[in-house]
Structure 1
Amino acid sequence: MLELGSGTGINFPLYTECEKVTAIEPSPYMIEKSLEKKKQSVVPIELVQASAEELPFADNTFDTVVATLVFCTIPNPERAMLEMKRVSKPDGKILLFEHVKMENRVLAALQEGLTPVWKKICDGCCLDRDTLELLIAHGFDVTEVHKYYRDLFIFAEAINRK
């Protein structure tokens, strides 16, 4: 299993149904912050300093890829989608929990207006990314979507149909 942008390692203790997790994170500071959560994991966690746009893994390596609130800050989300597609196995599972551009036009316009300032304050976070559309546009077969908080957050499960 691959986790993109593992941050502080908040997901590490939740992994129980896999053999091993490879977690990539571009920030050395966040990797350091995640070490305590790594100790709480019941499965081995390998931490790799890397960006989602340039994954240092062979094609078809992972049967599952997880991303939690990370696609909003990736500088080139299109490239990250291509890399995710490349490293996940054919019929590999993709699990995303992300905040996204809302469907309500007024709220979406507010997200668009706030994003330039928000990006500067919050480490590059874009409030108005349509990550679900990116997933579909890059050829992933979306099998499940759940929306939360007036569709501000989504959980999406997809299959990498190669």
Structure 2
Amino acid sequence: MHLLDDILFPRINDFALGEATTPLRAEVAGGARGKTLEIGAGTGLNFRHYAEGAEVIAIEPAPGMHERAARRARSPEVRAPVEVRDANALRLPFADAHFDTVVASFVLCSVKDLDLAVAEVRRVLRPGGAFRLVEHVASPDPSMRTWQRRIRPVWTRLLGGCDPVRDVRAALGRAGFSIEGIRNVELPLPGIVRAGIIGEAVRGG
């Protein structure tokens, strides 16, 4: 067991991304329909927001996060069936066009290859399928973005690879998603990662 990965990170995750983000999670996960994949499920904070009609597979590669997510999936608060699997967003073990919805919340900041992860999401979504997400991104304010870049090396090392300067909207566009349903949002997080996006990107044919 690794103290940082298996014990501290799951607790930090629940504290920093817990109750304050509940309305955002309810919007993103609550709108999932049909066969649903959640990537980087963390400790399962989205699970209670899925509607009864969703059929959810949630992937989480970190053992400490995975263990807590598996426990949450069995909570009486969770209305939809949720199966927690050990898998990585960079190599999704699913057939092309398998899912109706993919959900991500506060995970694309830490994947090692953002473009590959988004391309994998597009691959497993059916045409017209929805990628529902909430993520922190590079700030639109130039001075704040300068500070994000300055702290990036230390921030990334201390927080499990989290990159505060990612342009997720651009990555969605490069992968061929329609992004009209994505909007800017101010997140209930520290100022350095307060700029965010939320909404639904749609896979074209």
Report deviation, 1:17.
4.7
The partner residue of 1:97 within 134, 139, 164 is 134
Q: Does structure 1 conserve the Cα–Cα contact (< 8 Å) formed by 2:111 and 2:117? A: yes
State the TM-score, normalized to the length of structure 1. Answer: 0.95
* Correspondence 1:50 to 2:87: yes
**Which structure: greater helix fraction?**
2
Question: SS where residue 44 of structure 2 aligns?
Answer: coil
Q: Which amino acid aligns with 1:39?
A: R
1-structure distance, mates of 2:110, 2:53: 27
The partner residue of 1:71 within 86, 108, 133 is 108
* Correspondence 1:18 to 2:53: yes
* Correspondence 1:156 to 2:199: yes
Larger mean CA deviation between 16-25 and 100-109 belongs to 16-25
C-alpha change, 1:17 and 1:153, in structure 2 (3 Å) is: farther
Q: Does structure 2 conserve the Cα–Cα contact (< 8 Å) formed by 1:132 and 1:156? A: no
Q: Does structure 2 conserve the Cα–Cα contact (< 8 Å) formed by 1:26 and 1:50? A: yes
Q: Which amino acid aligns with 1:62?
A: F
Report deviation, 1:26.
1.2
Cα RMSD for the two superposed structures: 1.3
Q: Does structure 2 conserve the Cα–Cα contact (< 8 Å) formed by 1:69 and 1:98? A: yes
* Correspondence 1:4 to 2:39: yes
Question: SS where residue 124 of structure 1 aligns?
Answer: coil
- Among the aligned pairs, what percent are the same residue? 36
* Correspondence 1:33 to 2:68: yes
State the TM-score, normalized to the length of structure 2. Answer: 0.76
1-structure distance, mates of 2:172, 2:146: 22
1-structure distance, mates of 2:82, 2:136: 25
Q: Does structure 1 conserve the Cα–Cα contact (< 8 Å) formed by 2:70 and 2:84? A: no
Q: Does structure 1 conserve the Cα–Cα contact (< 8 Å) formed by 2:52 and 2:79? A: no
- Post-superposition Cα deviations, 1:9-38, rounded to whole Å, max 9, x if no partner, equal 000010015331010111121110112321
Unpaired segments ≥5 residues, structure 2: 1-35, 188-193
Q: What number of residue pairs does the alignment pair up?
A: 162
Q: Which amino acid aligns with 1:98?
A: E
**Which structure: greater strand fraction?**
1
2-structure distance, mates of 1:131, 1:15: 24
Report deviation, 1:156.
2.7
Q: Which amino acid aligns with 2:155?
A: W
Q: Which amino acid aligns with 2:195?
A: L
Unpaired segments ≥5 residues, structure 1: none
